[in-house]
Amino acid sequence: MGAAIESEGLTKRFGGTTAVSGLTFSVEEGEVFGFLGPNGAGKTTTVRMLACLVSKTSGRATICGRSIDDKREQPEIRRSVGLLPENVGLYEELSAYANLDFFGKMYDCPDAKRREGMERLLKALGVWERRDQLTGTFSKGMKQKVAIARALLHDPQVVFLDEPTANLDPESAKTTRDFILELKKEGRTVFLNTHNLDEAQRLCDRIAILKTSLVAVGSPGELRASLWGRKTVLHLVKATQAAAAAVRGLGFEKVAEVGGDRLVVDVADPDADNPAIVEAVVRAGGEVRFVTELRPTLEDVYLRLVRKAEGAP
Amino acid sequence: MRLSKAWILTRKEFAVFRRKKYILYSLIALPLLLSLLLPATVFFSGAASEMSRAELGQILSSEVMIFVMLAAILPTVIGAYSIIGEKVEKSLEPLLATPATDGELLLGKSLAAFVPSVGATYAAIALFTGFVDANTSSRFGYVLFPDWSTAVVVFLTVPLACLFSVQFSVIVSSRVNDIRAAQQLGGLVVIPLVGIYAVAEAGVVSLDPFGLLVISAILLAADAALTVLSRRTFRREEILTRWK
């Protein structure tokens, strides 16, 4: 599989203000790529550049191999991209069906394919029964579902979702997240702008943290490991000095006793290191109840990286 | 640029307008009022009986110019909603994300304001001329309308004035965020036309076919200039980043 999105040094300035600076990253086909960042970090501007809605100031980017700079390619890029903006922006005086029908025509979907697509998507999102009602009468969750259907109706290869679960009730948010996972199963590339770290952790293969420029890119696990390394926690009946010394004796220098019943060990590769550690502790008389990995949350990772980017100590 | 793509947008706009009562009322009430009230004030004021045929004919003929103003007013109501309504409801971004070109989007929006405005104006002119002819043909011994002046107004001045107003509305819409403010600013477009009407009523210029052709030529030049300006204003990036 190749790269669905490639960006190299992508920069956007509005007058004297730099909205986005020097973004270099790539998103593989079929990947769910999370874009995290505080308000004003440049997430929406990045999506708008990639969707050919605003021009870049410098750098280059391609969508499905097509350059966003090439004016002749831009309509084709827009056709290959589905966009769910932060504000759903439905025509509230039109029904859900009429909204989709209009956008399907604007994307040049043939009649039969458009009708089939509208039925499939509205049924999948649970809006089919209300398809003839004006979207102005819909709840936020229902509007969001119609907007998701609109973004997918023309069968795009790349889908940009800007805060897709913001302001949704838990049930609608879950439906939306499940649908994003379905998109991944279908092999679509999903570019997910979100503030919701839990959502990013659950859905994304890789995450980029943005604060005007890229702060970090990697899988949630890689980002955690890059900041904290990996830590094995041995839950013991009683944490003893002898057990800690036995672990240090294996060459693991960072060993901490916590709460009198745990040993926290910095490891390079838990799969390879844990059996030896457990064996050494047992030989030193330690009674191991169970072993876990200490996992800082994505929120910890995010906050540390963003504060670092802001220059905090 | 594909007209078919622009027409898809225009038809969507019509579907939205059908749900907007104030747009419907504007398209019906104002033309109806002008087409019947204007001649009625002349016929039923009592002054008509004291006028010569030539005087009465001149007054009624010059009133056709009112419909040029009508053609300029109606797009300010529709055009302002068509663009600012989308800005307010934040539905522009999904529309701009479609493969339609900037020109197709502008044409679609412009047609949505142009077609009903010209249609309503034509209906009003038909009603006006029919009403006048019904009330004057026995006295004059011939029908006053249609005449050459009306033909120039219908086929040139009305569409050109309407186009002028549509393009002006696009430009105004890029600078304000409020539909009513846009409509009020758009209303400025009528001022030169009111001036022409006032000058004609005062007898300074004649609204004969030649005079109307001159007015149409000026409108055509103004339309060309405004079209270039509105085309520069109506660009995706401008709309998303610089429009208020």
**If DSSP states are collapsed to H, E and C, what string results for chain A?**
CCEEEEEEEEEEEECCEEEEEEEEEEEECCCEEEEECCCCCCHHHHHHHHCCCCCCCEEEEEECCEECCCCCCHHHHHHCEEEECCCCCCCCCCEHHHHHHHHHHHCCCCHHHHHHHHHHHHHHCCCHHHCCCEHHHCCHHHHHHHHHHHHHCCCCCEEEEECCCCCCCHHHHHHHHHHHHHHHHCCCEEEEEECCHHHHHHHCCEEEEEECEEEEEECHHHHHHHHHCEEEEEEECCCCHHHHHHHHHCCCCCEEEECCCEEEEEECCHHHHHHHHHHHHHHCCCCEEEEEEECCCHHHHHHHHHHHHCCCC
Which of A48, A87, A93 shows the shortest C-beta gap to B20? A93
Does A150 contact B241 at a Cβ distance shorter than 8 Å? Answer: no
- Do A16 and A122 lie in one domain? The reply is yes
Least confident of A56-65, A71-80, B203-212: B203-212
Q: Nearest CA to A192 among A160, A224, A154?
A: A160
Q: How confident is the model at residue A312 (pLDDT cuts 50, 70, 90)?
A: low
Angle, alpha carbons B212-B215-B220 (nearest 5°) = 125
- In this structure, the number of other CB atoms found within 10 A of the CB of residue A259 comes to 8
CA distance A44 to A52: 12
Q: Do the Cβ atoms of B153 and B129 come closer than 8 Å?
A: no
Listed range (A22-26, A52-56, A106-110, B142-146) with the worst mean pLDDT: B142-146
CA-based nearest distance B44→chain A, Å: 43
Q: What is the pLDDT of residue A1?
A: 62
pLDDT, position B65:
84
Q: Are residues A113 and A27 in the same domain?
A: yes
Six token digits for residue A232: 């094995």
Cβ-based contacts of B103 with chain A (< 8 Å): none
ipTM of this predicted complex?
0.87
Domain housing A66: 3-224
Q: Say which residue the tokens 């649908």 belong to.
A: A179
Q: Looking at residue A235, which CATH number applies to its domain?
A: 3.30.70.100
| C-beta separation of B84 from B212 below 8 A | no
C-alpha count within 13 angstroms, C-beta hemisphere, residue A22 = 5
Peptide bond into B31 cis (omega under 30): no
A16 and A94, same domain (yes or no):
yes
Phi, psi of A55 (to 5 degrees): -85, 155
CA atoms of B104 and B90, how far apart (whole Å)? 20
Strand ordering across the sheet containing A3-14 = A17-28, A3-14, A58-63, A66-67
Q: Of A224, A242, A264, at which residue does a domain stop?
A: A224
A199 shares its domain with A276: no
Q: Which residue of B has its CA nearest to A51?
A: B97
CA distance A233 to A291: 6
pLDDT value of position A255: 84
In this predicted structure, the answer to whether residue B233 has a pLDDT above a threshold of 70 is yes
Q: Among A129-133, A264-268, B186-190, which range has the highest average pLDDT?
A: A129-133
Enumerate the residues of chain A whose CB falls inside 8 A of the CB of residue B234. none
pLDDT confidence tier of residue A55, bands split at 50, 70 and 90: very high
Q: Is the pLDDT of residue A313 over 70?
A: no
* Distance of alpha carbon A34 from alpha carbon A302, whole angstroms: 12
Tell me if B241 and A76 make a contact (CB, 8 A cut-off).
no
Among A106, A148, A155, the strongest candidate for a mutation testing the B interface, having the largest count of B CBs within 10 A, is A106
Hey, are the CB atoms on B89 and A85 less than 8 Å from each other?
A: no
Confidence at residue A58, expressed as pLDDT on a 0 to 100 scale = 95
Please report which confidence band the pLDDT of residue B21 belongs to, taking 50, 70 and 90 as the band edges.
confident
For residue range A239-297, list pLDDT tens digits in order: 888 999 999 999 988 888 777 889 999 888 888 999 999 999 999 999 999 999 887 77
Tell me what the mean pLDDT of segment B174-194 comes to.
82
For chain A, the domain total comes to 2
Question: Which candidate in B89, B107, B235, B243 is best for mutational testing of the A interface (most A CBs within 10 A)?
Answer: B89
Q: Which residue has the higher pLDDT, B158 or B169?
A: B158
Taking the model in full, what pTM does it have? 0.83
The amino acid that residue A247 corresponds to is V
DSSP sequence for B28-71: HHHHHHHHHHHHHHHHSSSHHHHS-HHHHHHHHHHTHHHHHHHH
Quick check: is A311 in a domain?
no
Question: Does A145 lie in the same domain as A52?
Answer: yes
Nearest to residue A174, comparing CAs of A153, A196, A192, A199?
A: A199
Is pLDDT at B243 greater than 70 in this prediction? no
What confidence category does residue B224 fall into, taking pLDDT thresholds of 50, 70 and 90?
very high
Q: Has residue B244 got a pLDDT over 70? A: no
Is residue A309 included in any domain, yes or no? no
Q: What is the domain-level CATH number for residue A141?
A: 3.40.50.300
A220 and A232 assigned to the same domain: no
Whether residue A74 is predicted with pLDDT greater than 60 in this model: the reply is yes
Query: Alpha-carbon distance B234 to B6, whole Å?
Result: 14
Q: Which residue has the tokens 């019947």?
A: B36
The residue assigned the tokens 């790539």 is A26
Asked if residue A172 and residue A83 are part of one domain, the reply reads yes
Average pLDDT, chain B: 86
Q: Do A85 and A51 belong to one domain? A: yes
Q: How far apart are the first and last CA of chain B?
A: 27
- At A151-207, the pLDDT tens digits run 999 999 999 999 888 878 888 888 888 889 999 998 899 999 988 888 888 899 999
User: Which of A186, A208, A224 corresponds to the end of one domain?
Assistant: A224
What are the φ and ψ backbone dihedral angles of A262, each rounded to 5 degrees? -140, 145
In a domain, A299, yes or no: no
In this prediction, residue A96 has a pLDDT band, given cuts at 50, 70 and 90, of very high
State which of A224, A254, A274 marks the end of a domain: A224
The answer on pLDDT for B122 being more than 70 is yes
Examine the pLDDT at A136 and tell me if it is beyond 90: yes
Please tell me whether residues A116 and A246 are part of one structural domain: no
Chain B residues close to A106, C-beta within 8 Å: 5, 8-9, 95, 98-100
Asked whether the predicted pLDDT for residue B100 surpasses 70, the reply is yes
Give the torsion sign (CA, B158, B194, B192, B182). Answer: negative
- Residue A169 and residue A257 share a domain: no
* Residue-level pLDDT at A9: 95
Nearest CB among B16, B94, B240 relative to A93 is that of B16
Task: For residue A173, tell me if it sits in a domain.
Answer: yes
Of A54, A78, A147, the CB nearest to B237: A54
Do residues A143 and A85 make contact, with C-beta atoms less than 8 angstroms apart?
no
Same domain, A85 and A208: yes
pLDDT at B116 over 80: yes
Look at residues A81, A127, A27 and name the one whose alpha carbon lies nearest to residue B94: A81
User: A44: exposed, middle or buried (C-beta count within 10 Å: 0-12, 13-18, 19+)?
Assistant: buried
What mean pLDDT is predicted for residues A51-57?
Answer: 92
Distance CA A252, CA A246 (A): 9
Mean pLDDT computed over B209-227:
91
Q: What is the mean pLDDT of residues A28-35?
A: 94
- Tell me the nearest-neighbour CA distance from A153 into chain B, angstroms: 12
| Contact criterion met (CB below 8 Å) for A10 and A59 | yes
Q: How far apart are CA A238 and CA B174, in angstroms?
A: 71
Q: Report if residue A203 sits inside a domain.
A: yes
Taking the C-alpha atoms of residue A19 and residue A68, their distance in angstroms, rounded to an integer, is 18
Per-residue confidence band for B54, with pLDDT thresholds at 50, 70 and 90: confident
Q: Residue A276: exposed, middle, or buried by beta-carbon count in 10 A (0-12, 13-18, 19+)?
A: middle
pLDDT band of residue B46 (cuts 50, 70, 90) is low
B97 to chain A: which residues are within 8 Å by CB? 51, 53, 78, 81, 83, 85
> Is 70 exceeded by the pLDDT of residue B105?
yes
B102 pLDDT higher than 70: yes
Burial class (CB in 10 A: 0-12, 13-18, 19+), A82: buried
Using CA atoms of B120, B123, B127, B128 in order, give the dihedral in degrees to the nearest 10. 60
Q: Are residues A53 and A119 in the same domain?
A: yes
A148 CB-near residues (< 8 Å, 6+ apart): A84, A121, A125, A161, A164, A176, A179
Say what the pLDDT of residue B121 is.
Answer: 96
Q: What was the pLDDT predicted at B23?
A: 87
Q: Under an 8 A CB cutoff, do B99 and A76 touch?
A: yes
Q: What is the pLDDT of residue A290?
A: 94
